[in-house]
Amino acid sequence: MVDRGPPFAGLRVLETASRLKNYSLAGTELGVTHSAVSQTIRRLEQAYGQILFRRQGLQMSPTAAALALAEAYREAERVILRAGRNVRAIDGEPTLVLSTLPAIAKLWLSSRLKRLRDALPDISVEVRTSRDLANLDTDGVDVALRVGRGDWPNLKSELLFEEYVFPVCSPDFLERNKALVEENLADAPLIVEDVDLWPAWFAAVGLAPPIRHRGPAFDDSALTVEAAAAGLGVALVRRLHAQEALAAGRLVRISPIQVKDPYSCYLVWRDDNPRIGAIRRFSDWVLAECDRAGLLKAA
């Protein structure tokens, strides 16, 4: 019998089913029916002579054989993706894929794209935005601009700068609340993000935080900045996010007191990326822009 090689299409189904432990969910992710997933698994069991899944309540639990095949498929996928990146590098493909948060792209990077093009005219940068961390093994991303603790496994991370937060509002809001000072800030509508640093800021001022906030809440820093600029209340913002609005006069700083953000800004990449030369040139440009913006100075 001729060995036709691994059934990669079937192994993709197996990997998805073993990860989700549910044939219907696997079918939804792959765009096929529950029955198609079940039939594919049955054919794989016949091909390998192994039971690959056992039903446990509402779940389909992968066996040790299924887990081994799923991991082998993921490794094969990583090898193929790396090979694809190598081919693009050999052919001189100039595009560098950058992943970052939507707020960073909107509030900081977008206004600098022309300077980026002028500084690196031979490199085209494709910007992808997401609140989820890009997988630099499988997502086709070369470099990421991230906010975190710098402890991402198997990746090279370079600290760009530490972040600090401070309260801001719109000029109109301050005009309507002329008596607004640190001591009575807890009575104002406070705009809240998903990572709430208001208690830390009030502690730095030596005041108790409000029991409940009266302002809107957002899970995105760009929305927080825009809400403050629209006069909806007082926001606690990071330097990186607020610089443009402060410079344009859309926001004003209420207090000189600031607190350190537990997360800092990093540039992240894989050291074995074949396009490491372009990544290092991009890294140099980002550092120069951060320095130009005053972000590298001690706050």
- Return the percent helix, strand and coil in the chain, to nearest 5: 45, 20, 35
Does position 2 have pLDDT exceeding 50, yes or no?
A: no
Residue 8: Cβ-neighbour burial (10 angstroms; 0-12, 13-18, 19+): exposed
pLDDT at site 1: 37
In CATH terms, is domain 94-163+263-292 a member of 3.40.190.10?
Answer: yes
Nearest CA-CA partner of 115 in 289, 245, 265: 289
Does position 199 have pLDDT exceeding 80, yes or no?
A: yes
Collect all residues with Cβ–Cβ distance below 8 Å to 80 and sequence separation of at least 6.
none
Domain residue ranges in the chain: 8-85, 94-163+263-292, 164-260
Are 140 and 151 within 8 A, CB to CB? no
Give 31-48 pLDDT, tens digit per residue.
889 999 999 999 999 988
pLDDT at site 298: 59
Does position 221 have pLDDT exceeding 80, yes or no?
A: yes
| The domains spanning 94-163+263-292 and 164-260 adopt the same CATH topology | yes
DSSP bridge partners of 55? 60
Q: In CATH, which of 3.40.1390.10, 3.30.9.60, 3.40.190.10, 3.40.449.10 is domain 164-260?
A: 3.40.190.10
The CATH code that applies to domain 8-85 is 1.10.10.10
Are 17 and 53 within 8 A, CB to CB? yes
> Model pTM?
0.66
State phi, psi for 59 to the nearest 5 degrees.
Answer: -105, 155
